[in-house]
Amino acid sequence: MTPEENNIRGLEAALIARLGSAAKVTLNDTYPLAKLQPANGNWYYSAKCEQCRSISPAIFDPSSGKDNNPFNGNGALCFACVRCGEDIVARASAIFSYHWIDQE
């Protein structure tokens, strides 16, 4: 398993563990994430790509949109935009839940 896959696995476990509580997942570092293949109809924690202005999913949202942003801290998630491939570095405060419906 790659470090990027391990980051996803660890963050997903933390997100599931905090479901139903007000606890936040603290990002203290920049976490590179493995490339995501989003599925239509699923919710993902996402960020806006500065290059193409598209919303790009970073990691699965187990709350199905109920928790808009469960992250805090000075860290970030680093992942590739699903539209243009540009690297996105999303600070904790810039991450939001998004219901993925592919428009293409």
Per the domain annotation, does 104 fall within a domain? no
Per the domain annotation, does 28 fall within a domain? yes
pLDDT in tens, 36-59: 999 999 999 999 999 999 999 999
Per the domain annotation, does 42 fall within a domain? yes
pTM: 0.93
What is the three-state SS of the chain? CCHHHHHHHHHHHHHHHCCCCCCCEECCCEEECCCCCCCCCCEEEEEECCCCCCEEEEEECCCCCCCCCCEECCCEEEEECCCCCCEEEEEHHHCEEEECCCCC
pLDDT in tens, 54-101: 999 999 999 999 999 999 999 999 999 999 999 999 999 999 999 999
Residue 39 lies in domain: 3-99
User: Per the structure, how many domains does the chain have?
Assistant: 1
